[in-house]
Amino acid sequence: MSTLVERISRIFDEGHGRELEGLLTDKQFADPNPRPAAVLIALTDRPQPGVILTQRPDSMEKHPGQVAFPGGKLEPGEDAVQAALRETHEELAIDPAQVQIIGTSDIYHTGTGFNVTPVLGVIPPDLPIRPDPREVESHFEVPLSHLFNPANYAEHKTMWQGAERIYYRMEYEGYIIWGVTAAIILNLARRMTLTELFNG
């Protein structure tokens, strides 16, 4: 087990061992019969770890052009970890055997009919990634210290389905990280105090 896996596992377990009020959610807009889904938050095992994100093609019917974690709906008989690993393999050709699972975090209730379980895992650095062009326009890696810093996100408000919706947005090297993806990141950042990781 790598040093990063050991340290992240401890920080993750400590952060998820308590109740936490005020996590971001779109539950007020949620479908009464949501579909379970899962995403993989893949940390790269580097001295300064990063997180792999994808941009969806503009041709996709749902959420075209948006930045997202690899992931999707659970298939019959799958749990969240299995679904996240399968979808990541389908989208980016990352072998599930290369992912060391840390754990699952708070379910995010979207306003588009899904209950999304974030799955945190660690992958070796510089894995060969082969995106499926039907699902992935491009992929990129964001330093964990930048992605998990709430100060890098701007709060926005809009009217949606007759009510005010708050969402968060960050730009990184021409990519816009916002909506559900940003909310999942910020919820997990509240669970995990990563200062020691970045200070050695």
pLDDT digits (tens), the chain, 200 positions: 679 999 999 999 999 998 999 999 998 887 788 999 999 999 999 999 999 999 998 766 665 679 999 999 999 999 999 999 999 999 999 999 999 999 999 999 998 889 999 999 999 999 999 999 999 999 999 999 999 999 999 999 988 777 788 999 999 999 999 999 999 999 999 999 886 666 65
For the entire predicted model, the pTM comes to 0.93
Q: Is 131 exposed, middle or buried (0-12, 13-18, 19+ CB in 10 A)?
A: middle
CA-based end-to-end distance of the chain: 18
Task: Tell me phi and psi for residue 82, to 5 degrees.
Answer: -60, -40
Give the whole-angstrom CA distance, residue 141 versus residue 155. 23
CA 194 to chain centre: 16
pLDDT of residue 29: 83
Using CA atoms in the order 12, 29, 52, 57, what is the torsion angle rounded to 10 degrees? Answer: 170
Nearest to 132 by CA among 171, 87, 169, 162: 87
Q: Which residue has the tokens 């992958």?
A: 123
pLDDT of residue 112: 85
